[in-house]
Amino acid sequence: MRFVAFAGAVAMLWSAAATAQTIGGNYIVNGTNFDGSTYSGTATIKPSSDSTCRIDWSTGSSTSSGFCMLANKAFAAAYKLNDSVGLVVYELQPDGSLKGYWTIADQPGAGTETLTPAR
């Protein structure tokens, strides 16, 4: 029984790593700030290993960079914006877009963000 559970866990991890390779490229960004105001821009995701990636955003006059990971349908990224550290958690959608919520360390509130593959 332990072998079956172990084999299932290995299969899930392999599946998540294989899925991570399908994430990448250029995305159109649309989001809302903590106060409800909207923003837009672009993001680029580049795989950096079989389970991680790098992400760069350009929204308005702001740029930020971080690292990311896909596990099944959950896609998360930690990033640096000026002197702050943030976290965004997305859900991978069937159409390849990513819909999620973001926050900045030690700040109240959360924003929303959608990354849509640029075609």
| pLDDT tens profile 84-114 | 999 999 999 999 999 999 999 999 999 999 9
Give the global pTM.
0.80
Give the DSSP letter of residue 90.
Answer: E
In the chain, the number of structural domains is 1
Give pairs for 60-63: CB < 8 Å, separation 24+. Answer: none
Give the DSSP letter of residue 61.
Answer: T
According to the model, what pLDDT value does residue 22 have? 73
Query: How many percent of the chain have pLDDT more than 70?
Result: 82
* pLDDT, mean of residues 34-56: 96
According to the model, what pLDDT value does residue 12 have? 43
Please give the residue range of the domain that contains residue 87. 2-117
For residue 58, the cross-strand partners are 42, 63
For the chain, the residue count is 119
According to the model, what pLDDT value does residue 116 have? 98
Q: Higher model confidence: residue 17 or residue 108?
A: 108
Nearest 5°: phi and psi at 27? Answer: -130, 150
In this predicted structure, the answer to whether residue 13 has a pLDDT above a threshold of 80 is no
Residues 86/102, Cβ–Cβ less than 8 Å = yes
In this predicted structure, the answer to whether residue 10 has a pLDDT above a threshold of 80 is no
Q: Read off the CATH number of the domain in which 13 is found.
A: 2.40.128.120
Q: Higher model confidence: residue 25 or residue 119?
A: 25
Would you give the end-to-end CA distance of the chain in angstroms?
A: 46
